[in-house]
Structure 1
Amino acid sequence: MRHFFAILRARNLELIRDHATWIWNIVFPMLLVLAIATLFNDEDSAIFQVGVVDDSPGQLADLKQIEHIQFVEYRDLDIALQKLRHHQLDMVLQGGTAPGYWLNDTSPKGYLLEKVVAGVRQGANALTRNAVSGREIRYLDWVLPGVIGINLMHSGLFGVGYVIVRYRKNGVLKRLQATPLGAFEFLSAQVVSRLGMLLIVTVAQFAAMNLIFDFFTEGSCWLLLLIAALGAMAMISLGLLMASRTSSEELAGGLLNLLTWPMVFLSGVWFSLEGAPAVVQKLALIFPLTHTITAARNVMLDGAGLAQIAPEIAALCTMTLAFLLIASFRFKWGED
């Protein structure tokens, strides 16, 4: 028993001196609860989602006063109608010189909203009715890019982050330092190695699930593969950056969790950010997962081409290069 208590005492002292772990375990749950309370506030819950186009003179102000409806502004009517066709919106209101509303004939919520609009706008103020039709996009189709994105995120961040920390603790990096190998070359090799594995797994997952669920896919599968590759590279590079100096597995785990949880909540994995406050939408753009999911959904659900997702492609390439360069400059071969 003396040996047991000696090891117990040594480990307890090690934990007590590990201030980063203590801070992480205290602060992280508080941040998580705060994020959930902010993002999932039920005080202003909406039953319907309505797109609004060209309401600059305030022509639709009376309709926008109706409670339990979330109004989302769109600059382009075609984009709003595309979402209406796929049941991602329940109605589209249009102002301007020809005010009216658009419905999907197969949407039950659209039928109810039409009755509400007719009750508010009657007689000379009535709006012109327009209709569209299209295949409904299931929530499963919509959430698929987010699920695959989460897998890329976890595998990219934790898969390489812990490996680098373990290499540093075991002295492997110290031995590599004696070779002509540079930090950028070493980190680039980690990216390419992990990338190959992630792409094989992602393609296999998508193919197998598509046979079962027949996902709605309008765009190019090759373009989806490119997005997955760029997204994975950005995640792996970010994981290398976070592990570029730390020698503590506990601290590395805390830092990586500090990255993953905000991305899960703010990157539009489980719910759309279209109706979120502008500051939340801007904040989400700092995460590579946001650009990965946005590009994948635009291609998969809206049939977007390379030109339409060029901003997301450019953002992922820029992030990957920036993370790798910063990680190379900060990289520490040993524990000292």
Structure 2
Amino acid sequence: MKRLWAMVQARLLEVVRDRSALAWNLLFAPLLVVGMAVVFSGAPPPLFKVGVLGDAPDTPQTHPFFATEGTRFHREASLDEAMVKLQRQRIDLLLDPSSQPLRYWINTDSEKGRLLQSLLRNSDADAEAQPVSGASIRYSDWLVPGLLGLNIMFSSLFAIGHVIVRYRKSGYLKRLNGTPLRAVEFISAQMIACLLLIVGIAAGMYAATDLFLHLRMEGSYLNLLLVAVLGSMSMIAMSLLVSARISSEELSGGLLNLLSWPMVVLSGVFFSLDGAPAVVQAAAQAFPLTHMLEAARAVMLDGAGLADIAQSLAALAAMTAVFLAIGAGFFRWSQD
């Protein structure tokens, strides 16, 4: 434990002494969050989203309403999940085409939903309405978890991956190998130090952002903290896949970007994946950032408890264990 704590202290002091990098981490993300929130807090683009229970029709001949222009129809897996989306105005209308007459659910607080209802009734006067209510979520409330998760992802990947490669290239790891320090102690110390820094900075950024934007928070802060910790651990462990053996900083930077940017695009940082092709949604589930953002937004926006986010937490824990096992197994101290 003494060796482990000594390495944790050494890594923390190294970060604190690098004032320019520390200032960048502290200031960049909050400015990005506020800027994006201001730019995108206006009205959403005029695109209708309609959820369909069962299989979404492949052709508009199934019902005249499915030929409505400017409307995206996608399949909803269950009524309960679809109702939450409708209440939060993530979809504008919900249809059950298997019922006779056609049954639909509409959020009475949604202007777009009421407009779609009028179009539906023009094509099918017998359609039965099932009204629900619920206020829409500001884009800033949706965006902030994504941007904080994005900052955690980049900090986690590069704080461990790039640094360990630099240590190996400079011969620092080779000198450590001559001490009683074991590889598992070194890796654990790096993870603990980075976890303390990353989660601490993320918590500070959340508090500062909440001060200005008054973020929606329906669930428990402890649950949100648990999501942040497990998400950070999984992405720190992912960086070990790159840093375990590589000694080239240029190659490590390229590989870390190769890992990070697909997550930026596919993990729902800036937009929801509702209605995206099934193959895209399936690919997104392979990334820890996806599970972290799904759990964080469920806690913040829907008041989800531990049981509700248990699947995402389990996925993050499993990814952490797998990445750590692979990274530790391939870890080497020197370039030789």
- For residue 107 of structure 2, the aligned residue among 104, 108, 115 is 104
Q: Give yes or no for contact 1:237–1:324 (8 Å, CA) kept in 2.
A: yes
Shifted more, 83-92 versus 227-236: the winner is 83-92
Instruction: Give, as a single letter, the amino acid of the residue that structure 2 aligns with 1:171.
Output: G
Instruction: Give, as a single letter, the amino acid of the residue that structure 2 aligns with 1:216.
Output: R
Q: Provide the C-alpha distance between the structure 2 equivalents of 1:127 and 1:270, rounded to a whole number of angstroms.
A: 35
Q: Provide the C-alpha distance between the structure 2 equivalents of 1:57 and 1:169, rounded to a whole number of angstroms.
A: 57
Q: Provide the C-alpha distance between the structure 2 equivalents of 1:302 and 1:311, rounded to a whole number of angstroms.
A: 16
CA shift at 1:296, angstroms? 0.9
2:163 aligned residue: 163
Instruction: Give, as a single letter, the amino acid of the residue that structure 2 aligns with 1:119.
Output: N
Q: Provide the C-alpha distance between the structure 2 equivalents of 1:97 and 1:89, rounded to a whole number of angstroms.
A: 20
Count of residues in Structure 1 that have an aligned counterpart in Structure 2: 289
Q: Give yes or no for contact 1:60–1:95 (8 Å, CA) kept in 2.
A: no
Q: Provide the C-alpha distance between the structure 1 equivalents of 2:54 and 2:48, rounded to a whole number of angstroms.
A: 20
1:134 aligned residue: 134
Task: String of CA shifts for 1:77-131, please: whole Å, max 9, x gaps.
Answer: 2322221122111111124446422222222211221121012112xxx211232
1:12 aligned residue: none
1:293 aligned residue: 293
- For residue 68 of structure 1, the aligned residue among 67, 70, 76 is 70
CA shift at 1:269, angstroms? 0.9
Q: Which runs of 5+ in 1 are unaligned?
A: 1-44
Task: String of CA shifts for 1:291-325, please: whole Å, max 9, x gaps.
Answer: 11111112211222111211111111111111111
CA shift at 1:135, angstroms? 2.1
Q: Give % identity.
A: 49
Q: Which runs of 5+ in 2 are unaligned?
A: 1-44
Q: Provide the C-alpha distance between the structure 1 equivalents of 2:256 and 2:110, rounded to a whole number of angstroms.
A: 42
CA shift at 1:46, angstroms? 8.1
Q: Give yes or no for contact 1:46–1:69 (8 Å, CA) kept in 2.
A: no
Relative distance call for 1:294 and 1:149 in structure 2 (3 A) is same
Correspondences of 1:1-336 after superposition (within 5 Å): 47-54=47-54, 61-62=62-63, 63-97=65-99, 99-122=102-125, 126-336=126-336
SS in 2 for 1:130: strand
SS in 2 for 1:247: coil
Q: Provide the C-alpha distance between the structure 1 equivalents of 2:285 and 2:47, rounded to a whole number of angstroms.
A: 27
1:30 aligned residue: none
Relative distance call for 1:172 and 1:268 in structure 2 (3 A) is same
Instruction: Give, as a single letter, the amino acid of the residue that structure 2 aligns with 1:67.
Output: E
Instruction: Give, as a single letter, the amino acid of the residue that structure 2 aligns with 1:90.
Output: D
Q: Give yes or no for contact 1:157–1:256 (8 Å, CA) kept in 2.
A: yes
Q: Give yes or no for contact 1:187–1:324 (8 Å, CA) kept in 2.
A: no
**Quick check: which has more Rg, 1 or 2?**
1
CA shift at 1:153, angstroms? 0.4
CA-based RMSD of the aligned residues comes to 2.1
How high is the TM-score relative to the length of structure 2?
0.81
Task: String of CA shifts for 1:172-230, please: whole Å, max 9, x gaps.
Answer: 10011112322222111111110001111111111121121111221111101000000
